[in-house]
Amino acid sequence: MASRTLARLGCSVSKGLLQSSVRSQRAAQVALSARNGSTSPNSENPQQSFSIKNGDGKRLPSSDFYAVVKEAVAKDVPEEEFVLPKEAFGVIGAEYDALREENADLLDKYRRALADTENVRRRGQKQVEDTKIFAIQGFCKDLLEVADILDMAVQAVNEKQIEENPQVKSLHEGVAMTKTVLLKTFAKHGLVPINPVGEKFDPNKHDALFEVPAEMAKVEPGHVAQVMKIGYSLRERTIRPANVGVAKGN
């Protein structure tokens, strides 16, 4: 009687253990299928596929990805014995290639943005420098009239008058010295005269008032034969063109 009872109890325990094992295996297959995209829990060789991204599309840390793969394919395997399957390595390789392309694209955009920023900085710096330089342009133009008057005053007195009249000579020297100091001050600030006798006519620097016949000109055709009024440039920018006569061609 006791032996029969023990036998029945052993059968019940064995049957329960077997059913529990089957249920565990089916649950593991379902979990693996859910992770691998398979819909058949009875499939003997499910097509394994893994994703390194979570449901939000964000990349998993390497430790989390490793844990997900191990949970899906080798939950009961000791940590030191577990080896990533080929499919998981494929996911890592594909993700590495994608990150390389993304990194190259971001690096290119960064370099372009850096170059654009540098160009903007240089343009801004040049504009500031130009503003400082050419802020006095209007003031310089007004002073040019003073220089013109001093020049006319110096040229209005001939050598004979200077020699015969000491007062005229003294006055002439004073005006000439004033003109010299003024021109030196102009040059100090980048304002220089344009006196282009003999130079080729340049519409950016010269204003042609008339033509000089070829037989009267001492320069080649198309060149400045006579300067009626000198011009001025500020830091190589013409602020007043020279009034000139140009030699006429044959």
Least reliable range by pLDDT among 46-50, 62-66, 68-72, 168-172: 46-50
Task: Determine the 3-state secondary structure of 168 from DSSP.
Answer: helix
Residue 183 predicted with pLDDT over 80: yes
pLDDT score of 49? 62
Contact predicate 26/41, CB 8 Å = yes
Share above pLDDT 70 across residues of the chain, in percent, rounded to a whole number: 76
Q: Whole-angstrom Cα distance, residue 198 to residue 196?
A: 6
pTM: 0.52
Tell me which DSSP letter residue 145 carries: H
Least reliable range by pLDDT among 54-58, 89-93, 226-230, 238-242: 54-58
216-225: per-residue pLDDT in tens? 888 999 999 9
Query: Which tokens in the block code for residue 237?
Result: 């920018």
Sketch the domain layout of the chain as residue ranges: 2-82, 136-188, 190-250
51-92: per-residue pLDDT in tens? 666 667 677 776 777 777 777 777 777 777 777 777 777 777
Contacts of 233 (CB under 8 A, 6+ apart): 191, 192, 194, 205, 239
CA 81 from chain centre, in angstroms, equals 53
CATH superfamily to which 190-250 belongs: Head domain of nucleotide exchange factor GrpE (2.30.22.10)
pLDDT score of 178? 95
- For residue 8, CA distances in Å to 18, 25, 234 come to 15, 26, 115
